[in-house]
Amino acid sequence: MHRFAVVSDPHIHALFPDYGVEGVRFQGRAGACVRSRRDSVESTRIFNESGLALTAALEACAAQGIRTVLIPGDLTDDGQAPSMEAALALLVDYGTRHDMRFFLCPGNHDAYGMSGRPHTKAFLTGSGGSVTVSSRPEDAGKPAGGETVHDPRMGCGSYVGLAEAWRAHGLMRDPRDLHWESPFGPDDSPASRMHDMTAADGRTTHRQIDLSYLVEPEPGLWLVSIDANVFEPRSGRPDNTQPDAFEDSTNAGWNALVRLKPFLLDWMADVARRAQDLGKTLICFSHYPVADVLRGTLEAERALFGQSTGVRRNPTPATTARVAATGIGRHFSGHLHYHATARAAEGGPALVNHAVPSPVAFPPAFLLASATPATLTTTPQVIDFAGFDAFFRFYGKGGEAPDWLEAATYPEFLYRHIGAQVRHRFLPNDWPQDLRACLEGRSTGDLVALARRDAPADAADPSLPKGGAGLPVTRLLTDWYALRSAGELARPFLTDDALRDYSALIAAYAGRHWADPTSVQARIQIFVHMLAQMLADAGIAPEDAA
């Protein structure tokens, strides 16, 4: 039996990067580069708490005797040198004190192609303002809500630099390992791991590096890290030392990998065959999911939102089938910050994708795993720690209810972060404008009353029910997104009152039909059906509320 942990997407943000700016005073030390409240509410994650959260996760691993930790990408928040140094120093510390080993694979926030790319970030100052740091020399001195300082270390690094920085964490050979190889053979040098990738025009070709590897850190355990971070060349832009020569990897994932790096599928199939012949316990991981982790709601989400972030970042059924055909069997992914288990369609080779959440998004958790060649057991470990509110004094009052500053635990803090995202990110970015305007100021009771109307209604109809009993729709949306990302781990945050409202809502829309698919009722019905599906997937029966 092999025991290990999977801690994904730590998104380490260096608090003391020494950018030479004023910053704020934190824990008795001047010059802390603290991100603002607004930055976090508009993001998929929080920033300042990242080091505290990863430390709490590693403490939990150490307490349970875990010695092997997989990190499926986004070790750092945006690949800046100070953040990379801070993250690696933490891994070295736990490796030294607790005999832990960490095995990494690249995420879209860790490096940008063969070029790297510029970044600009703003930080709070002790005088109540902000200061901006940019890696672009031309930005120096420009007003951006405050002073702008140039520091090249603010930029995201390239893949060449990543290979060297992470060499001790699986990317290159280690004397302690029983076996190591890359898809190109036993040579671990970056030069031996180059390959060509061609743009859609069939003429523009880039020479890129792939950082996939197979390592046997203990007898019988084969860890396969797949570099699914694909930077597709742009047609007519052959100079891959320029950031605009690539498509961003964020939405590419395995859909792009099967087109542009098919040699990895051949290698994975060969590894899987050898692992079976040799009786090895094979564990594969990459940054991106290999199966649909939207809990069976992918097509419904596409119908309601179109090409939403969730839709774009999920693999197609054809992609999943291609990966399943390699025989790897089980795979851990990050990227989406979800806690979910997804499987390939029945009728083909078995493939299970274990989506791993992030320490800096809801639900804050990691996975403990035990594996043999034939079995795999995973247990989620929710992250909580004293002092999670150390940065609250910098955030100020947000004018929202409920406010972040009322959170009593770290998981509650991140649940409330979802509520802030609903207002500042999800509704503005994902929802159709007319439906968003319709939902504002309404309650679950209003939506139930709307379902009783037989005639299809327009979202802008001023006579639609409003002011009824029940929870605010913003609370419904918060719980919907919490279920989407956390599954059963969201249950402690779903009150009995909320579940009763959701049961009534589901019953009101069940079995109804409105002839006009663009009507407000038909579209809300899609949303409610997804709510029912996610509750079922989490094993939560809303009608069972006390």
Residue 309 has pLDDT above 90, yes or no: no
For the CA atoms of 231, 237, 243, 247, the dihedral, rounded to the nearest 10 degrees, stands at: -30
β partners of residue 215:
180, 223
SS3 category, 486: helix
pLDDT at 348: 86
User: Rounded to an integer, what distance in angstroms lies between the CA atom of residue 336 and that of residue 285?
Assistant: 14
Mean of all residue pLDDT scores within the chain: 94
The CA-to-CA distance between both ends of the chain, in Å, stands at 41
Average the pLDDT over 113-127 and give the result: 93
DSSP strand E in 398-515: where? Answer: none
pLDDT at 402: 74
All domains in the chain, ordered by first residue: 2-117+156-382 (3.60.21.10), 431-544 (no CATH)
Residue 363: cis peptide before it, omega within 30 degrees of 0:
yes
The packing angle between helices 298-305 and 520-537, to 10°, is 150
* Tokens representing residue 453 in the block: 């109307």
Grade residue 546 by pLDDT with cuts at 50, 70 and 90. Answer: very low
* Identity at 114, one-letter amino acid code: M
Nearest Cα to 356, choosing from 293, 421, 273, 407?
293
pLDDT in tens, 396-447: 877 776 788 899 999 999 999 999 999 999 999 999 999 999 999 999 999 9
- Sheet holding 2-6: strands in order across? 101-104, 68-71, 2-6, 365-371, 376-382
Residue 544 has pLDDT above 70, yes or no: no
Q: Check if the beta carbon of residue 366 is closer than 8 Å to that of residue 359.
A: yes
Residue 143 has pLDDT above 70, yes or no: no
User: Rounded to an integer, what distance in angstroms lies between the CA atom of residue 179 and that of residue 214?
Assistant: 8
The packing angle between helices 473-486 and 444-451, to 10°, is 90
* Tokens representing residue 14 in the block: 């260096």
Alpha carbon of residue 495 to chain centroid: 26
Beta carbons within 10 angstroms of residue 79's beta carbon? 26
* Identity at 39, one-letter amino acid code: D
Grade residue 346 by pLDDT with cuts at 50, 70 and 90. Answer: confident
pLDDT at 145: 56
Q: Check if the beta carbon of residue 442 is closer than 8 Å to that of residue 475.
A: no
* Tokens representing residue 86 in the block: 């801070």
Q: What is the pTM of this model?
A: 0.96
Beta carbons within 10 angstroms of residue 297's beta carbon? 22
Average the pLDDT over 504-512 and give the result: 96
User: Rounded to an integer, what distance in angstroms lies between the CA atom of residue 256 and that of residue 382?
Assistant: 32
Q: Which residue has the tokens 């047609």?
A: 235
Alpha carbon of residue 56 to chain centroid: 19
Residue 505 has pLDDT above 80, yes or no: yes
Phi, psi (rounded to 5 degrees) for 341 = -125, 130
User: Rounded to an integer, what distance in angstroms lies between the CA atom of residue 221 and that of residue 238?
Assistant: 41
For the CA atoms of 218, 221, 227, 229, the dihedral, rounded to the nearest 10 degrees, stands at: -100
Q: Check if the beta carbon of residue 153 is closer than 8 Å to that of residue 279.
A: no
Least confident range of 81-90, 106-115, 304-313: 304-313
Beta carbons within 10 angstroms of residue 381's beta carbon? 17
Q: Check if the beta carbon of residue 154 is closer than 8 Å to that of residue 133.
A: yes
